[in-house]
Every structure is written in structure tokens, then in C-alpha cells.
Amino acid sequence: MAKQLESDRILFGAVAALVLFGCLMVYSATAVLAAEQFGSSYHFLARQAFWAVLGLMVMIVMMNVDYTRLASPVVVFPALAVEIGLLVAVLFAAPSHKAHRWLRWGGASFQPSELAKLVTVIFIAYFLETRRKDINDWRHTLAPVAMVAGATVLLVLKEPDLGTSLAILLIVAAMLFAAGMRLRYFTYSALAAFPVLYLLVFHVAYRYKRVMAFLDPYADPRGVGFQIIQSMIAVGTGGIFGVGLMDGKQK
């Protein structure tokens, strides 16, 4: 138990450091805009810091919860039902930039696909534990996992959110690999996934434009290539260590 607590502290320290660094970057990137629009250069930093502190407090609470208590059908299946329900509900929510990714209540907003990552991990971990002696049984183990992961990924794709969908698939694949799934199943899955991924990227206009912008941002310097060009200018100006906090020109 002491070793586990020590690892928790190390993980918490790493997360806290990354969150602090993120807050500094938010302040550096938004201070001028915040001062112009809201009269305070700390406007966006204050909002980010509030949610950062809240998130770290939740992390501290969860560090003291026995995670094995989550390995119960009383927890797993209701959580899965809520996750699927929220992923369906968000499709009927008001779109933002032509995407249905956020549920909003007043001034608060929530992204169900982020919850889906956590719930999917909990469900699959629980299910694989119950089937640990039959991990490679397609009918009783792999098919149910594929159905749950597939339903989650399809709903997230419908938003649309290809990045989160791929993240969920990679998480599921890593868990199945750790559980001992045969490599041939990974091979079959990869062969089936590549054509689908090709269609999702190169036959959807805005995704195709992003790929082309990455390969040649100067083909559309004022459009989809703008951010990449600004990034290259920033790196070219500041090098590896940058020009210093608040001194960057590419805001």
C-alpha cells in the first residue's frame, strides 16, 4: 500500500506540474486579448486556474478511494448506461462550429466524450477481469468488448470527433494487449481499420484540408495553413526555449 501511495504522489506531482505549465501558457497566449476585451489580462487565466484547482482537488479525493470498489456491476453498468445516454443526448444539443460535442447548462459546459474515455476503461477492465481465463474467446469476451467500444466510438464519430474516437480505440487496444489478446486479432483489426481511417480522413473535406495544410501550409497561408505558419515562425524566432514568457509575438 505504501508503494501505491508513493506512486500516487509522484503521479499527482507530475500532473500538477503540467497543469501549472498549462496555466502559464494560457496566460502568455491570452493576456493581451483578455486585457482588450475584458479589461484584465488575468481573465482567462483566472477561469483556467479555477477549473485546474477543482480538478486537482477531485484527483486528491480519488487518490484516497479504493479503485477496486469500481469493479462492481452496480457501478459499471449504470455508468455505461449514463455514458451512452449522454453521447446520444449531445447529438441533439445545439451545435458549436458545426459539431455536437458539448452539453451546456447556463454558463457551464460538459463534453460527454471525455467521460466516455473513463467509463470505457472502467467497463473493459471490469469485463476482462471477469473473463481473464477466456480472453481470446471471441463470442463471450472479444465480441462484447467490440460492441461496447464500437458503439462508443461510433457515437463520438457522429459528433464528429475523430481524434477522441481514435484515442478510445487506442486505449481499448492497449488494454486488450495487456490482457493477453492474440496478436493475430490485432492484425485483423488493423487491416480492417486502415481503409475506414482512410475514408474518414481523405473523404471528409475539412479533415483532408488539415492534412494538406500540414504538408504544405503555404498553399493557404491565410486559411487552414495560418496556425502552422505561425507555429513555425514562433519556433524560428525563439528556438527550443522560446523568447521568454509574455515576449512572444505569435499570440
pLDDT tens for the 251 residues of the chain, in order: 445 567 788 889 999 999 999 999 899 888 888 998 998 899 999 999 999 999 999 988 888 888 788 888 888 999 999 999 999 998 988 887 778 888 888 777 888 899 999 999 999 999 988 888 888 888 888 889 999 999 999 999 998 888 899 999 999 999 999 988 888 888 998 898 899 988 988 888 888 888 888 888 998 888 888 988 988 888 888 887 877 776 776 66
Residue 161, Cβ neighbours under 10 Å: how many? 20
Whole-number Å distance between alpha carbons of 235 and 229: 10
CA distance 169 to 164: 9
Q: Which residues contact 150 (CB under 8 A, 6 or more apart)?
A: none
Among residues 168, 185, 175, the alpha carbon closest in space to that of 124 is found at 175
DSSP state letter for 99: B
Pick from 132, 131, 85: nearest CA to 110: 85
* CA dist list (Å): 250 to 229, 233, 241: 10, 8, 15
In eight-state DSSP terms, residue 172 is H
What pLDDT was estimated at residue 5? 67
| CA torsion angle 176 177 183 189 (round to 10) | 50
Question: What confidence score (pLDDT) does residue 49 get?
Answer: 94
pTM, whole model, 2 decimals?
A: 0.78
Give residue 21's pLDDT.
Answer: 94
pLDDT reported for residue 19: 96
What is the predicted pLDDT for the residue at 2? 44
Give the model's pLDDT for residue 250. Answer: 64
